[in-house]
Structure 1
Amino acid sequence: MIKLLADENLDNTIIRGLLRRNPDIDIVRVQDIDLSGEDDPIVLEWAANEGRVLLTHDVATITRFAYERLVNNLAMPGVIEIHTDASIGRVIEDLFMVLECATSGDLDGQIYYLPL
């Protein structure tokens, strides 16, 4: 199963919707692991160390730091960037499609944008 890390800016409605549909999803929030307010590279490093794909609304800066990790041959288990104006229901459906159809290795070094 793909393990997820929800960035602190991620709409909690998405997290609640995912867990309502499948309470076994392995997702932690940045706020729950004392990374609130940390810079993006630190969040990405924690995600890499824990093998967690990052869910975020931060399309402005996360992408650059994720690619920097790849250029420097550092682990980057994946990022899923979610547009803030996307329908929550559509985002949850798309996330479930990714979670059901992919393995954690499929997302390694990848950046996906939702909605699909």
Structure 2
Amino acid sequence: MTEIRFQADADLRQAIVTGTVRREPRLDFRSANEAGLEGIKDLEVLALASRDNRVLVTHDRKTIPIEFGQFITVQTSSRVLILAQNLPIGEAIDAIILIWEASTAEE
């Protein structure tokens, strides 16, 4: 079983990435900066996350659901996790760690 790996979208608050990795250092959560996502179009971000077998974590409720729907009609994806912008950072961290602990990449 393979552990889930995460990719932060450029709009995701960095404090969520930092806090998640701080609380669970074994969790693989690549920041948008590390992946060079600033200014990249949504379809390219989805393709990158899919290619690297990572779950994209985003706050983007406006365009990502539409782009993701189009993306999965032609390519496979390792999924998207959309977090509300107003979700407290601690709750966002808890949710990501829970998903990581309770799931595998194959699920």
Between the two structures, name the one with larger relative contact order (CA 8 Å, sep ≥ 6).
2
Equivalent-residue separation in structure 2 for 1:90 and 1:35 (angstroms): 24
- TM-score (norm. length: structure 2): 0.92
* Higher mean C-alpha deviation, range 2-11 or range 23-32: 23-32
CA distance in 2, matches of 1:27, 1:83: 18
State the alpha-carbon separation in 2 of the partners of residues 90 and 30 from structure 1.
20
Structure 1 residue 44 displacement after superposition: 0.3
Letter in 2 for 1:88: I
* Partner in structure 2 of residue 78 of structure 1: 79
- Cα offset, 1:24, TM superposition: 1.8
Aligned length: 105
Query: Could you tell me which amino acid in structure 1 is paired with residue 61 of structure 2?
Result: V
Q: Which runs of 5+ in 2 are unaligned?
A: none
Q: Indicate the percent of aligned positions where both proteins have the same amino acid.
A: 29
- Pairing 1:35–2:41 present: no
Q: CA RMSD in A?
A: 1.1
**TM-score with structure 1 setting the length:** 0.85
Aligned to 2:89: 88
CA–CA distance in structure 2, aligned partners of residues 65 and 44 of structure 1:
8
